[in-house]
Amino acid sequence: MAEAYQQTSEKSRLVALLLCLFVGYIGIHRFYAGKNGSGVLYLCTYGLFGIGVLVDLIMILTGSFTDDHGLLIIDWEGTEGKPASYAPAHPHPAYTQTPPRPVPPPPQKNAEEMFCNSCGSIVKKDETFCRNCGAVLQH
């Protein structure tokens, strides 16, 4: 399956085209593609006296221009810096879940109530025995 995948350059074909059009006579598009050696040559010869620039322009337009790794520059926007796959815009489901309900406050005893000394449950002060554990309430 690896042979079926055509690896292409991450350089932008549009940038290479524009550079070739406007500053191709000094080889800027070749520097952009990483071809520094031929870029210097273009710089010294005004793009091989214009012929090299014209050839490169045609090659970029036809999608046969390559970078210094021999990879075709055919992606118009370029893939440099792009993630391998587009991540979904919505956040992880864990962050979208509603927060857990707040813990209800502990029961508040009022003036007529007291805590059982035996089990700690709230009982009425006028009761003799705890309704929960049956212990005798200490008043």
Angstrom distance (rounded) from CA 130 to CA 134: 5
Positions 63 through 122 that interact with Zn ion (CB under 5 A): 116, 118-119
Nearer to Zn ion, 80 or 126 (CB): 126
Nearer to Zn ion, 110 or 138 (CB): 138
Angstrom distance (rounded) from CA 77 to CA 84: 15
Residues with Cβ < 8 Å from 114, sequence gap 6 or more?
122, 123, 124, 125, 137, 139
Nearer to Zn ion, 51 or 119 (CB): 119
Nearer to Zn ion, 21 or 133 (CB): 133
Closest CA to 79 of 135, 2, 12: 12
Please work out the total of residues on this chain that contact Zn ion, with binding judged by CB under 5 A: 7
Is residue 132 a contact residue for Zn ion (CB under 5 A)?
yes
Closest CA to 17 of 53, 45, 43: 53
Is residue 136 a contact residue for Zn ion (CB under 5 A)?
no
Binding site for Zn ion (CB under 5 A): 116, 118-119, 130, 132-133, 135
